[in-house]
Every structure is written in C-alpha cells, then in structure tokens.
Amino acid sequence: MNHLHKRLDSLVRERYTSAIAEGALLFSESVVYSQHELGVDFEVRYVPALAKRPSSKPSEKQARVNFVNPFLPFDPRLHVARIGSTHQLLLNKYCVAPNHLLITTSEFKQQGEPLTTSDFAAVVDTVDGLSQAHIVFYNSGEESGASQPHKHLQLLPMPDVMTTPPTVSIWLQSTPKVDHVCSSSDLPFANFGCRLEPATALSPKGLHAAYSVALQRLVAEHALVRWVFCRK
C-alpha cells in the first residue's frame, strides 16, 4: 500500500483554495440546522440550489449518448493525490461543504460493484493522512444516491461539535459486540454494522471481511446499500 504523506491536510487545503480561485469548483451555499432526535444531535444542511435541479431524468439512450465521465480523465485542477496504483483522491466539483473529497478508481469500475480490499486500502490510506475526523460513505448504485456510474467513495469532514455520525451514534446505543455484524432496531431502515477493534479498523482485509458479511445480510433483506465508515 502506498502510504500518503502526512502533508495531506495541507495538500487538500491548497488544492481547494486554488480550485475555488480557478472556478473549477461549484460551491453551493447552504444553511445548517441542528436537530436533537433519539438522544442524538443531527446536522441538517439545507441547500436551496438543489431545488433547481431538473426534475425529469433523461432516457437511458440519451444518458448513454451524452455521458461524459468526470473521473476519467479527471480535471487536474481537482486532483489532490494519487493513492497507490489503483485510486485517485479528488475534490468533489459539486460541493456543499469545504474540502469535500472523492476517492475514485484509476480505471473505470462500475458504481454499485461491491467494495474491494484495494478500495478499503485507499480509504485507510486517506483517512490515516487526515488529522480531522471524516465520515466516508459509498452510495452503491443510483437508487442509493449515486449520481455517477464510475466507482467513487465520498469523504466529508465531521463538524467540530460531532464526534460520530448521528446514525452511527444511534446504532451504537444498541451496544453491539466488537467484531460482530449486528443490526439496530432503533434505526427505521434495514441496517447492519460492525464495531471493530482499532487494529481491524485499520486493516483493509479486516474491513473488507466485515463489510462482506454485512453486505450479504443486507442483500438477503433486498435493501438498498449505502456503506458508512468512521473512526471513533
């Protein structure tokens, strides 16, 4: 695994600043509200610009004809770092929060394919190079929220007042056993997660093994798949 240099924080800030100055980023202003539910603080971000998005989708044929892959080739103004030989770290062009990052595969892989050990290696390498806590998520296909068919994961900085994503906090209230895939009845949707020991959480193989077990159980439930990772 190619370990990213500890200067990753400054690389992200420098690239974000230059991308804004060069007009490479489309930053949507948002209003943040705090909401306390189920004993957990949520951060709700209202983005008025999203209301202006087209309400009708192009046909499948039109989508194929008009498709331009923004990640292959990627815009060099958005490029932060190469992660080994398999992945790239980019800024999200359409961001609603500063330093919104993407981990993309260097070669085309279909969004919706299961995450691989190399995907997890890229996640661990990136998170290990960032000093601020981040939430990492993977929308596994269009119905789960993915807007691009090229495989990519997203990283968002955690708010300073929040140490754990709200849904994860609720899931943890069920006191899941370490290294066991568990679900929580406190969440109003199908969910399976695994609380990992630090050594496993930093192991791409360990992460992939836990993910694979949870994925099998979600598929059995015929549920949409959105994977979320955070370090606590």
Among 4-8, 133-137, 214-218, 225-229, the range with the most confident prediction by mean pLDDT is 133-137
Does 165 have pLDDT greater than 90? no
> Nearest Cα to 176, choosing from 223, 210, 216?
210
Domain ranges of the chain: 8-49+74-229
- For the record, the structure tokens of 166 come out as 């709200």
HSE of 44 in the Cβ direction (CA atoms, 13 Å)? Answer: 8
HSE of 75 in the Cβ direction (CA atoms, 13 Å)? Answer: 18
110 vs 119: CA distance, rounded Å: 13
Where is pLDDT greater, at 215 or 163? 215
> Nearest Cα to 210, choosing from 117, 95, 75, 73?
117
Q: Name the strand (E) or helix (H) holding 25.
A: none
Amino acid 35: pLDDT: 86
20-53: string of b/e by CB count within 10 Å (b at 16+)?
A: eeeebbebeeeeeeeeeeeebebeeeeeeeeeee
Q: Residue 63 contacts by C-beta under 8 Å, 6 or more apart in sequence?
A: 57
SS3 at position 36: strand
Q: Position of tokens 């955690």?
A: 158
Does 158 have pLDDT greater than 80? yes
Q: What average pLDDT score do residues 189-203 get?
A: 82
Amino acid 104: pLDDT: 98
Amino acid 38: pLDDT: 80
Amino acid 159: pLDDT: 83
126 vs 148: CA distance, rounded Å: 21
Residue 194 bridge partners (DSSP): 181
Q: What average pLDDT score do residues 46-56 get?
A: 67
Q: Position of tokens 């279909």?
A: 110
Neighbours of 154 (CB within 10 A): 17
Percent of the chain with pLDDT over 90: 40
pTM: 0.86
Residue 133 near residue 165, CB atoms below 8 Å:
no
Percent of the chain with pLDDT over 70: 85
Amino acid 4: pLDDT: 62
Residue 48: cis peptide before it, omega within 30 degrees of 0 = no
Q: Specify the fold of 8-49+74-229.
A: HIT family, subunit A (3.30.428)
| Count of residues in the chain | 232
Amino acid 78: pLDDT: 98
Amino acid 56: pLDDT: 45
Does 1 have pLDDT greater than 90? no
Amino acid 130: pLDDT: 92
Does 152 have pLDDT greater than 80? yes
pLDDT in tens, 82-137: 999 999 999 999 888 899 999 999 999 999 899 999 999 999 999 999 988 899 99
Does 213 have pLDDT greater than 80? yes
Average pLDDT of the residues of the chain = 85
Residue 194 near residue 122, CB atoms below 8 Å:
no
63 vs 183: CA distance, rounded Å: 37
